[in-house]
Structures are given as C-alpha cells and as structure tokens.
Structure 1
Amino acid sequence: MRALRNLSLGSCRIATSFTYRAPTHSLVASLARDRATAAARARPNRHLSPKAIGPLHASSLSPTLLTALAAVAVLLAAVSYSAIDRPTGTVHEPETTNAALQESLAMPAEVAPGRPGNLTPEEEEKLRKLWALVFQICAVTPEDRGVNTTGAGEAETEATKDADGDRLEPAAADKTKKKRLGLFSRKGKKDADADSVTSKRSASGAITPIKESEDDKYGQTKHFFDTLASQSPESIRATIWSMVKHDHPDALVLRFLRARKWDVDKALVMLVSTMNWRAHGMHVDDDIMKNGEAAAVEGEQGTDAQAKQLGHDFMAQIRMGKSFLHGVDKSGRPICVVRVRLHKQGEQCEESLEKYTVYIIETARMVLTPPVDTAVSILASAYLGATLADHTRAQTVVFDMTSFSMANMDYTPVKFMIKCFEANYPESLGAVLVHKAPWIFQGIWKIIRGWLDPVVANKVHFTNNAKEMEEFIEPSRILKELEGGEDWEYSYVEPIPGENDKMKDTATRDKLLSEREHIYKEFEEATLRWLQEPEGDAAQAHKKQREEIAKKMHEDYWKVDPYIRARSLYDRIGMLKPNGEVDYYPAGPSPGASSSGAGPGNVEAVVTTADDVD
C-alpha cells in the first residue's frame, strides 16, 4: 500500500504520510468506496440539512416559536455525552422499589452498534483510519513510540519504496519519509486559497475540483486548518487526551465517526475543530471544570465587577436547580432534569449561561456507566424545541411542559446550544419525551418535526401523565413533582471549605500527570502496532492490549481527578464517588443535615433550594 495518501478536506487537500498495512491501496480510494458503500446501504440521513433550517433570526420567528427554541436550548444544556468505562453505578432503592428494575439493572446491557466492542469490520477499518490521521496531526510516529515500521515477516515496507514501487536506498527512503511527514504541514491563507482550486484525480482518472463540504454548517473545515496553522501538534494532542478523561479513547473517537456517518475526513475535521473550541474557545478543562463552583462562589463574593456578576449568575442557576442529575431510566441511563420554568430571560448574562451549559454537560459525563453512553433529560417546559434537530440521536429527553409561561422564553442561549451540540458534542441524545405539552406546542411540533430526520423524529414520544411516562421510567423513579412515586426534591449543597485543597498540591499533581502521560504513550504505541497489523492473531493481540491499557487509563483518571477538577454538588452528596463509582440515588445531605465527609472536619453543609434564590 502506498505510504502517501491524499485526503480531501473541505476546500483543501491534505497529504498524509502515515504508514500501516491496511487492506486498501490508498485512503482516497478507500474513502470513495466507503461513500459508495454508504450510499448503497441507503442509511437514513441523521443530519439536518442546513438549507432545510435556514438561518435563525429573532426577527423572523414568532414569539411562540421563539419560546420553543428557548426551551430546546435549556434542554441541550443539560444533556451530556460520552461513554465511560467504569464500574456499574450503585442504586439505593426508594421504598417503592420495583423488582423488575433491579433485575434489569443487574443484567449485562447490550453494547449499542458503533461503540467499542460492537463494530463491523468496515467500522473498525474507519476507526483505524481516523486514528492514523489523528496521529498525523499530533506528530505521533512509530519511531517516537518505538514501533518497528518493518512488518512481521517482511523485509521492507511500503515506506522504503518510491511512488512507482521501486526500492529506495536507505538514505533516499529516509529523505522521502521526512518529506511525507512534512506534507502534513500548517497552511496559511495563501496556500489554502491555492488549494481551493486544486484538483484531484478520482478513481476513474477524471479530474474533479475539490469543493468545501456543503453540509459544513459551522465552517469547521476553516476552523480545522486554522487550528493546524495556529496550534502545535503537542497542543492538539494534549487537548484530545484531556477530553478523554475516564472515557475509552475509542469511544470518544467513534462519536465523531458516527456523527459524520463514518466519513473519516469529515470526522477528523469535526474532532480537531472541537479540540480548538474546547481549549481556546470555552476553556473547558483549564477554566470551567478546573475552577468549578467554588471559584464561582469566590468570584461573586469578591470585588471585581465582572467576576462578581459571572459568579453570581453561574451560581444562581445551580442553586435554583434549573437543571440537575438524579436517577436512571429503565435502560439504566442517568436522568438529567431541567426545570425550564425557573429560567427567566435576562436574569443571567450570556457568558454565564454558556459556561453553565458546558459545566452541566461535562459534569453529566462523569456519571455515565458502560455500556450506556447517553443520558436521559427531563425538561420542565417547552424550552427545548429547536435544538432537537440534530441532537436527539443518542439521549433520552423528557419535556415537562407544566407551568410554562412566556417569561421563560429566551432566545439568547439557542444559537449557542445549537452550535455547541451540533459542532462539539456529537451523538448526545437517544429518546425524547414531551410531557404535558400545552396546546400551543401542537403547531410548533409540526414545524420541529419537519426539521427532524425520520430516524430522530421516531425517538420523540409525547406523554400526558405519569402513567404514560412509565413506559420509559419506573413509577418509583419518577419524581413526585412529575406526579411520580419518588419523594425527592433537589437541594443544593454549597461548596465546603477545603474541598479542593488537593488542587494546591502541584507537586503530586505533576507526578500523577507524568505517570498518566506514560499511559497515553502506551495506548498510542499499541494503536500504532494495530494499525500496522490490522488482521490475524497479531491484530487480536494488539486489540486486547489496547483494551487493557484503556481500562488502566480509566482507573488512573480517578487518581488524578481531585487534582485537576473542582468538586461539584455530585461529589458532595455522594453520587460521584472518589473512585469513579456512581450512586444514582445517594442519601446525600438533606436540608439541615451535615456533610458526610466531603470536606475537612466534616464542615456542616449549607443547603440551598430554589426558594432561597432571589
């Protein structure tokens, strides 16, 4: 197989130089066959055409429709994504325990298609291709990881041959290898403009112009090349591993492949664009999750006007319980409740709304247990309409339309939420329950349904009472406020002094991160070997090794976690354990109770409810 592969991305052509013996002759030809295969399968298009939606402008939408759009935004803010390889969460049964639910939770859950452990040969090949390209971008080479580039049983590799297949002398081969690695370089605007009119040779030999993808709604191809031009390979690599956290690395990468219908080049563009957004747009891991609730409280009590407003607005949403995590559905998926009636337009600044949204999404990732890689969201109003279009593919959403008024309508977070989930949190939703929808929603739903792909629309279910909701959630698990049997109410436990003291121990943090870096390199090395030997007994051995390393990576994360992530409400109440185990029904502090060891000296926990928030 040729070592040089040309990958068309948007308006530019990228030449990649990674060498491994995949059962294809070139990546371009492989991608062409992949697209042809996908077309032959006639899979339903799970993506909404940007042309079908059109631009969203407040001036062009009716107040009723804006209401629905605002509802969608809050829903998506609460929904999280990511498949996490961790021990099964613990469930404390309420008094109305249903034995059938216990039995269902105890049974091994089936791994959904397209996830680690359930890939077709074609999907596995796509996964290898994407890893190869990720390594290209991150400058992860076989030489750096000590992987022998000469295959077992072969005296020479494709890398030691020229374009015509003739053997190169060692010096020439080394020069060619360096040149190929150099081909995957950052490009300036001039180069990008030149590439936009470059042509490529199709499988039939005809010359066809390279065009930017028509469904590149958010200009991710441009963001992709901007990232390559402005960020070092090491920086991109660090952001990818930072996002993995306790997840299986394959699970994260596969989300982008599924979101782009197994189109490898589009998945790569989306993944790299997302990494830039996380690191340099939202500062997810070095600000939002690192500083967390305690820093927001400190900010609102400080003297800096901007920090004071951001801290106050951020904490107001958490204290009132605009959204929260509690319980599981019949499939064992964690439930995220968003009570939209608590949202009032203009009460919080836009930046705090965005940070709160990302904080909820990222926090919810922590309580997913394998093989569940989605969450259930129960929303308490019509707040969620528009953003369902692309994001009901993987999570279950319940709309409780009770007590909604026009005061709850807010367009501000809509555009952010749509872009956030479509561009940066792919494959996040699974099913949608619209609970007690008011009559005005009938017309809105007709519009929304027209936007949805039939596959997504079929996941939307309307419920008018708790009895109908029982098809998805056990009666004893439905909250009392939703007319169910669980007598539980949300109450917020304030940050406890000293709960983040480990984050001050930078020496231990750096030591743990250094050890974790070694695990990253182990996984990369095993993956490189798998890319070189994708078939036979050797491939099975490499895959087994990768799984063992991924498990070690998951377990190791929880050693590092208290040094890099501020404690959250769910750490304080015992839902999220220090070792990563999850108790979906923790006893937790109740109003007037004390903290159960969440901080030094068992400081009394201050509990806040929505009634306490101005």
Structure 2
Amino acid sequence: MSLSPTYVQPVIPTEGRLGHLNQEQIEKLKQFWERLYDIFDGKTPFDQTAPSSFKGQARDEEGDGAPAQKSGWFGRSKSASETNTAPVAPRFTGKDLYKTFWKLTMMDHPDLIVLKFIRARKWVLDDALKMFLNALKWRIVERLDELVELSDEELDAKYPKFIEQMRIGKGYLRGADPLGRPMSVVNTRLHHKADQPAETIHRFTLYTMECGRTVLPVGSETVIVIFDLSNFGLDNMDWGFVRLFVQCFESYYPETLGVCVVHRAPFVFWGLWKLIQPLLDPVVATKFVFTRNNAELHKVIPRERLPITHYEGLDDWKYQYVPASEGENDCMKDLPKKEELLNERQALETKFDVMTRAWIKEAGGKNSDERDEIAKELREQYTRLSPYVRAVNLYKRWGVAVGGEVNWTYNVKAEE
C-alpha cells in the first residue's frame, strides 16, 4: 500500500547512534562506561543528593505545578549552621544507581541508553555523566517502579481518577509512523486541572512515558507527540504538566522526542507559546511542528496511520479503554518463577558487565560483537521476565506490545 501523496517522510539521523559510531565516538563511549563503573563500584565520589532540578520541589495541592513554599519531596535543605548537627547522610549510593540503571535498560541495548545522554550533552562526558546520574536519581525519587508494577486498579486506588484519564482518552499511545516511531496523542480539550489531583496527572504522564518505551520497536529511538489543541481554551492550560513535559524530554528521557506536533492551535495559544518557548532547550524547540489543519498534519503523519474520525485519516479506529480482566497479572504472584527469571537476568547483566570492563581496556576504537550478542540475550530474556515484573497495561490488552513484539494494526479504508 502506498502512503498518502502529501506525506513527507523525514530522514532520521544516524550520526552518533548505535551501530553508526566512528572510532573516536567508540573511545568516548568506553570512557563513559569506565567512569560509570567507577561510580557504581564506589571508587569515585559523586553528588549523592537529589539534583537541584527537583530537590524540594513539591507539586502543590492546587495543582499548578509551582514549587511549594514549604517542604517538598525531600523537605527544605538546611545547612549545618542552621541545624547544629552533622550533615545528612548521603541519599544515593553507587549500588542504588547501578540497580536503577539495569531497571531502566529493560529490553534495550545498554549502549543505546547511555548514548542518548552522551549525544544530548554534545559528547562532553562530564556533562553527560552528571545528566545521566541525575536521571537515575530522578527515577528513584519518582518511584517509577510502581508505575509498571501496579495494576490499573491499584494505581487508581493510590492516585484518584487515574483510570478516568484513560477512560476518557485524555492521553494515549496509538500507532507509529512509517519509521516505527510510536505516536502519543494528548487531547488537551479533555483536560481541566481541577477535575483530578495534580499528583494524578503527574503520575499518569510518567506512566504514559514508561508505556511508550515498551512500544518502541528495535531500531527506533524516538516518539512523536501530538498535542491536539482543538477547542483549546485557557481553562485547559496546565503549567505543571508543561513543565513536566519539558523536563522529561530535556533531562530524563533525552534524545527521545522525534517530533512534537502542535495541532490546530487557536489564537489564545500563541500568547502562551511566547511563555513556553523560552523554557525549551534550543534542540528540543526545533522538534516542534505546528499544523493548522488536518491537511498539514497529513504531511507529518500519513493518512493511513490517522483515524478517520477527527483527523480525516484512513484508519477506521476509535479510542476505547479496555479494562483489566480477572487474573491477567497472575504471573506476578508466581514468586518461585519470578525469582528464577530475576536470577537469570542478573547473570546476564553480570556477563555484560564483565565483557564491558574487558572491552574498555582494549586498545583501538573497535566495537564489541560479544557485547552486542549479550545485549540481544538481555532483550530476549526480558520478554520472558516482563510478565512477572510488569503489570498488564492497556497496550498489552490491545495486543500491541506482547512477547517483545510491537504490532500496531490499521483498518485502512479506501480513499474516496
């Protein structure tokens, strides 16, 4: 099937990406791993406190996302002169970050993960390492484990109206462009920040980010975000969400945003954009594309991948939340099998570590085929481990992300 004639397929850069590294870049990658292992092993001191980007910044009860004046997630830091006591013990250790690193890796090649941070900081290793360590600490602080381990019902019980966000289709992942980049749709007209606690929106946003990683096929590193501003008004604006969105793609999921499509922005939005644009990193800002109507949207995303309803696409599909079914997470209760698979995983991680430490010492900027093979084993093993450590989500119920495979289906109608 041919794609819509209006669609213009972009060229995805390969420079500095996995499988396309030159000798100098491979040497830089080795140096990064060496320094990372020194921190994991406790050989090199590092800032063990929470990064300033989120230290003490609570989400206030009114939900505007502004830093709270009172104590935040860690409480307001006090100097030794204020407390007349010894400094607070380090909050994070190398072992903490090592454990978090492997949870972050999931089914990805470990090099793919760290290269995102290295590229984001223009191959300046000091800056890349600081950014990466901050991201690992952030994942601990944000308790991202619970977002993948808890069921929809458990998340809804902990964060009121969590399921409601999915039921009304406020934000969801649907389909991918011809390059395999998953598409995340945000229907801003459905959002009113007073309708649910600010914490619920915060957690739901991070939940969607983590789900997005599971629908990235092999070879794809970025996603497309569609901000649908149809019928957008000032009461739909949520600065807390905007700040979180910017922080995620700039600091915690770098080199992940492929395109951010701002669709059907009304006149009222442009005044807000003047406030938003200065918050953006220049590189991230270049990822924003503005489409005034569906015809312009079809140039960014082919009609075959867009629903007929609302977007005048060719895909006969409508969003529907599929609730959990009884027993869908029974694997997580099988503790002996879970422990067996976790031990198998740990053995592969150790194997990769040993091979990487040896590779670091090798002369010459050459890749390691042995490390790549272990990375493939890690991906395959994670497909077997996943049902025991991750609760079934909407996308598994849709049949999209099952057994390590990503399979979007489109019910394409003939163009009239």
Q: Can you list the C-alpha shifts for 1:71-101, whole angstroms capped at 9, x where unaligned?
A: xxxxxxxxxxxxxxxxxxxxxxxxxxx4248
> Do the aligned partners of residues 355 and 231 (structure 1) sit closer, same or farther apart at CA in structure 2, a change above 3 Å counting?
same
Q: Does 1:491 align with 2:316?
A: no
> Do the aligned partners of residues 522 and 360 (structure 1) sit closer, same or farther apart at CA in structure 2, a change above 3 Å counting?
same
Q: Does 1:525 align with 2:354?
A: yes
Distance 1:100 1:188 in 2: 51
> Do the aligned partners of residues 111 and 418 (structure 1) sit closer, same or farther apart at CA in structure 2, a change above 3 Å counting?
closer
Distance 2:48 2:272 in 1: 45
Distance 2:401 2:18 in 1: 24
Unaligned runs of 5+ residues in structure 1 are 1-97, 140-180, 190-215, 300-306, 382-401, 588-614
Which residue of the partner structure matches residue 99 of structure 1? 2
Tell me the CA shift for residue 262 of structure 1. 1.4
Q: Does 1:580 align with 2:408?
A: no
Tell me the CA shift for residue 553 of structure 1. 0.5
SS in 2 for 1:338: strand
Map 1:437-456; keep pairs closer than 5 Å: 437-446=265-274, 448-449=276-277, 455-456=283-284
1:526–1:546 Cα contact (<8 Å) kept: yes
Which residue of the partner structure matches residue 242 of structure 1? 103
Q: Does 1:356 align with 2:259?
A: no
Distance 1:431 1:321 in 2: 21
2:48–2:93 Cα contact (<8 Å) kept: no
Q: Does 1:283 align with 2:283?
A: no
Which residue of the partner structure matches residue 19 of structure 2? 117
Q: Can you list the C-alpha shifts for 1:234-262, whole angstroms capped at 9, x where unaligned?
A: 22211100100001100111111112221
Q: Can you list the C-alpha shifts for 1:356-395, whole angstroms capped at 9, x where unaligned?
A: 11100000110011321111122222xxxxxxxxxxxxxx
Q: Does 1:261 align with 2:261?
A: no
> Do the aligned partners of residues 228 and 267 (structure 1) sit closer, same or farther apart at CA in structure 2, a change above 3 Å counting?
farther
1:338–1:380 Cα contact (<8 Å) kept: yes
Distance 1:267 1:532 in 2: 21
Tell me the CA shift for residue 409 of structure 1. 1.9
1:111–1:371 Cα contact (<8 Å) kept: no
Distance 1:188 1:361 in 2: 26
Tell me the CA shift for residue 426 of structure 1. 1.6
Q: Does 1:218 align with 2:53?
A: yes
SS in 2 for 1:461: strand
Tell me the CA shift for residue 481 of structure 1. 1.4
> Do the aligned partners of residues 421 and 431 (structure 1) sit closer, same or farther apart at CA in structure 2, a change above 3 Å counting?
closer
> Do the aligned partners of residues 417 and 272 (structure 1) sit closer, same or farther apart at CA in structure 2, a change above 3 Å counting?
same
Q: Does 1:407 align with 2:235?
A: yes
2:180–2:216 Cα contact (<8 Å) kept: no
Tell me the CA shift for residue 452 of structure 1. 5.1
Tell me the CA shift for residue 464 of structure 1. 2.2
Which residue of the partner structure matches residue 344 of structure 2? 515
2:399–2:407 Cα contact (<8 Å) kept: yes
1:313–1:348 Cα contact (<8 Å) kept: yes
Distance 2:144 2:100 in 1: 10
Distance 1:457 1:414 in 2: 13
Tell me the CA shift for residue 188 of structure 1. 8.9
Tell me the CA shift for residue 118 of structure 1. 1.2
Map 1:122-141; keep pairs closer than 5 Å: 122-139=24-41
Q: Does 1:319 align with 2:141?
A: no
SS in 1 for 2:216: coil
SS in 1 for 2:310: helix
Tell me the CA shift for residue 446 of structure 1. 5.0
SS in 2 for 1:99: coil
Distance 1:481 1:350 in 2: 28
Letter in 2 for 1:368: L
The one of the two structures with greater contact order (alpha-carbon pairs below 8 A, sep at least 6) is: 1
Aligned Cα RMSD in Å?
2.9
State which structure, 1 or 2, has the greater radius of gyration over its C-alpha atoms. Answer: 1
SS in 1 for 2:184: strand
Q: Does 1:504 align with 2:328?
A: no
1:185–1:228 Cα contact (<8 Å) kept: no
Q: Can you list the C-alpha shifts for 1:3-55, whole angstroms capped at 9, x where unaligned?
A: xxxxxxxxxxxxxxxxxxxxxxxxxxxxxxxxxxxxxxxxxxxxxxxxxxxxx
Query: May I ask how many residue pairs the two structures share in their alignment?
Result: 375
Unaligned runs of 5+ residues in structure 2 are 56-73, 75-86, 412-416
Distance 2:38 2:248 in 1: 26
Map 1:20-59; keep pairs closer than 5 Å: none
Tell me the CA shift for residue 186 of structure 1. 6.6
SS in 2 for 1:346: helix
1:321–1:339 Cα contact (<8 Å) kept: yes
> Alignment partner for residue 193 of structure 2, among 319, 334, 345?
345
Distance 2:105 2:88 in 1: 19
Q: Can you list the C-alpha shifts for 1:318-362, whole angstroms capped at 9, x where unaligned?
A: 111111111122433111111111111211112211111110000
Which residue of the partner structure matches residue 602 of structure 1? none
Q: Does 1:571 align with 2:380?
A: no
Distance 2:207 2:279 in 1: 28
1:188–1:229 Cα contact (<8 Å) kept: yes
Q: Can you list the C-alpha shifts for 1:420-473, whole angstroms capped at 9, x where unaligned?
A: 443322222122333222223344445555665665544433322222222221
SS in 1 for 2:194: coil
Q: Can you list the C-alpha shifts for 1:279-331, whole angstroms capped at 9, x where unaligned?
A: 2x11112x11101314235x2xxxxxxx3xx2x32111111111111112243
Distance 1:469 1:439 in 2: 18
Once the two structures are overlaid, the 10-residue window that deviates more, 448-457 or 465-474, is 448-457
Which residue of the partner structure matches residue 66 of structure 2? none
Map 1:183-222; keep pairs closer than 5 Å: 184-185=44-45, 218=53
1:256–1:271 Cα contact (<8 Å) kept: yes
Distance 2:28 2:372 in 1: 18
Letter in 2 for 1:344: H
Which residue of the partner structure matches residue 561 of structure 1? 386
Distance 1:375 1:563 in 2: 26
Distance 2:316 2:88 in 1: 49
> Do the aligned partners of residues 474 and 418 (structure 1) sit closer, same or farther apart at CA in structure 2, a change above 3 Å counting?
closer
TM-score (norm 2): 0.82
Distance 2:355 2:392 in 1: 33
Letter in 1 for 2:188: V
Tell me the CA shift for residue 112 of structure 1. 2.2
Q: Does 1:295 align with 2:154?
A: yes
SS in 1 for 2:202: helix
Letter in 1 for 2:39: I
1:187–1:228 Cα contact (<8 Å) kept: no
| Identity between Structure 1 and Structure 2 (%) | 35
Distance 1:498 1:283 in 2: 25
